[in-house]
Amino acid sequence: MVVIGAGPAGCVMSRRLAESGLDVILLEAGSERAPTRAGVLDIGPGSQVITRHRAVLGSATIGRTEVELPRGRTLGGSGAVNGGYCTPARPSDLVEWGPDWPRRYAVGLARAAERLRPRLVPAGPVAARVAEAFPGRVSAIAQARRDGRRVTAFDAWDPAGAGVRVVTGATVRELRWAGGRTSRRCDGVVLDDDEEISARETILCAGSIGTAAVLLNSGIGPDSGHPVGRSTQEHPEVLLDLPPDWARPASDPNTASASHSAAPPLLSHVVRLALPGPTGVVEIEVRPYSVPMHRVIPGLAPQPHRIGVALMNPVGRGEVGRGEVGGGNLRDGGPRVVLADDPRDTAALDRAAGLVADRLGISGGAGGLRPVPVPSTSQHLSGSARIGEVVDDSGRVLGCEGLRVADASVFPALPRCGPYYSVLAVAEDLAARVISGRSW
Tell me the C-alpha distance between 82 and 89, whole Å: 18
* CA-based nearest residue to 254, from 291, 218, 227: 291
Q: CB burial class (10 A; 0-12, 13-18, 19+) of residue 301?
A: exposed
Number of C-beta neighbours around residue 182 at 10 A: 9
Question: Residue 136 — left, alpha, or beta (φ > 0 → left; ψ -120 to 50 → alpha)?
Answer: left
For residue range 192-231, list pLDDT tens digits in order.
Answer: 999 999 999 999 999 999 999 999 999 999 999 999 999 9
Residue-wise pLDDT for 359-392, tens only, equals 999 976 545 577 889 889 999 999 999 999 999 9
Query: What percent of the chain is predicted at pLDDT more than 90?
Result: 81
Higher pLDDT, 254 or 435: 435
Q: Which helix (H) or strand (E) holds 142?
A: strand 142-143
Q: Is there a binding annotation on residue 356?
A: no
User: Over the stretch 248-294, which tens digit does the pLDDT of each residue have?
Assistant: 544 444 444 444 455 678 999 999 999 998 889 999 999 999 999 99
Categorize the per-residue pLDDT at 333 as very low, low, confident or very high, splitting at 50, 70 and 90.
low
Distances (CA, A) of 108 to 76, 113, 115, 118: 19, 9, 11, 15
Q: What string of DSSP letters covers 89-138? A: PPGGGGGGG-TTHHHHHHHHHHHHHHHH--B-----HHHHHHHHHSTT-E
pLDDT tens for each residue of 30-71 = 999 999 999 999 999 999 999 999 898 754 444 445 789 999
Q: How far is CA 125 from the centre of its chain?
A: 27
Read off the pLDDT of residues 137-190 as tens digits, 9 standing for 90 and up: 999 999 999 999 999 999 999 999 999 999 999 999 999 999 887 778 999 999
Sketch the domain layout of the chain as residue ranges. Answer: 2-436
Helix (H, G, I), strand (E, B) or coil at 88: coil
User: 59: buried, middle or exposed (CB in 10 Å: 19+, 13-18, 0-12)?
Assistant: exposed
Measured CA to CA, the distance from residue 424 to residue 153 in angstroms comes to 8
Please say whether the beta carbons of 226 and 352 come within 8 A: no
CATH of 2-436, one of 3.20.20.100, 3.40.50.300, 3.50.50.60, 1.10.540.10: 3.50.50.60
Q: Which helix (H) or strand (E) segment is 321 a member of?
A: strand 318-321
Cβ atoms of 56 and 234 within 8 Å: the answer is: no
